[in-house]
Amino acid sequence: MRILTLIHLYPPHHVGGYEVACRGVMERLHGRGHDVTVLTSDVEVPGTDGASSPNSVAVRREMRLWFDGDAFAPLRPGPLGRLSLERANQRALRNALREARPDVASIWSLGYCSWSLVRMLEDE
């Protein structure tokens, strides 16, 4: 089975146990023979060494969050900025769907993510 997982952060870039739990599930599914692709944000947690925490599943760090990590606050873009961010995330999802051709989508925490992606998955 081909699985596409959406989550706001994914190890080695994470801020808590939820992302680590998601990774554990995805790694176990992959170990059982499933083809797993994770679509997550491009956020990089400072001080994280990616080489120290390799993933055996495909991880696409292409989504943009509605969050400003430097200011530690939600983004508040104007109308054109909102449109640009949504279109970029929808494009990332379309590309992931086209390339991974999933049988199922697994949606985890979408904090500060584009909720339009859930609607797109409903339409698939």
pLDDT of 70 strictly over 80: no
Confidence (pLDDT) at 48: 76
User: Per-residue confidence at 35, pLDDT binned at 50, 70, 90?
Assistant: very high
pLDDT of 105 strictly over 80: yes
Confidence (pLDDT) at 100: 97
pLDDT of 7 strictly over 90: yes
8 Å CB contact between 25 and 54: no
**What value does the mean pLDDT of the chain take?**
90
Confidence (pLDDT) at 115: 86
Confidence (pLDDT) at 38: 97
pLDDT of 110 strictly over 90: no
Rounded to an integer, the average pLDDT of 65-92 is 87
DSSP line for the chain: -EEEEE-S-BTTB-SSHHHHHHHHHHHHHHHTT-EEEEEEE----TT--GGGS--SSEEEEEE--SEETTTTEE----HHHHHHHHHHHHHHHHHHHHHH--SEEEE---TTS-THHHHHHHH-
Report how far residue 47's alpha carbon sits from residue 5's, in angstroms, rounded to the nearest whole number.
25
pLDDT of 53 strictly over 80: no
- Angle at alpha carbon of residue 50, lines to 104 and 116, rounded to 5°: 35
Confidence (pLDDT) at 44: 80
